[in-house]
Amino acid sequence: KNEVEQSPQNLTAQEGEFITINCSYSVGISALHWLQQHPGGGIVSLFMLSSGKKKHGRLIATINIQEKHSSLHITASHPRDSAVYICAVRRGTDKLIFGTGTRLQVFP
């Protein structure tokens, strides 16, 4: 079993829909990252959080440390949000352990 599990693996949505991507992990962590990987391969860090909730524009990330669960929400989704979203957890050595990613396609 992977230490970091994401769901769903694939997600399609119509423009404007509210989207939720989930991440569960089974190890102790110091922080959790949400990353966005575009088709060209470039990776951008969206959020790093260790508690509570963070918001940036239309993106919201939450984490529940007790339940070892995080969610990434996208409000008013847009085709340019189409990408692979990756959850990664940081452990003691600062090594990141990655989920397998969620491929999101938003259609106009």
Partner 1 sequence: GAGVSQSPSNKVTEKGKDVELRCDPISGHTALYWYRQSLGQGLEFLIYFQGNSAPDKSGLPSDRFSAERTGGSVSTLTIQRTQQEDSAVYLCASSAGQGREGNTIYFGEGSWLTVV
* List of residues contacting partner 1 (CB under 8 A): 30-31, 33, 35, 41-45, 48, 50, 86, 88, 90, 92-101
Q: Could you tell me the two tokens for 54?
A: 């963070």
Nearer to partner 1, 40 or 108 (CB): 40
Nearer to partner 1, 12 or 50 (CB): 50
Separation between Cα atoms, residue 12 and residue 33, nearest integer Å: 22
Nearer to partner 1, 89 or 106 (CB): 89
CB of 94 to partner 1, least distance (A): 6
Specify the length of the chain in residues: 108
The single residue listed with the structure tokens 């189409």 is 82
Three-state secondary structure call for residue 79: helix
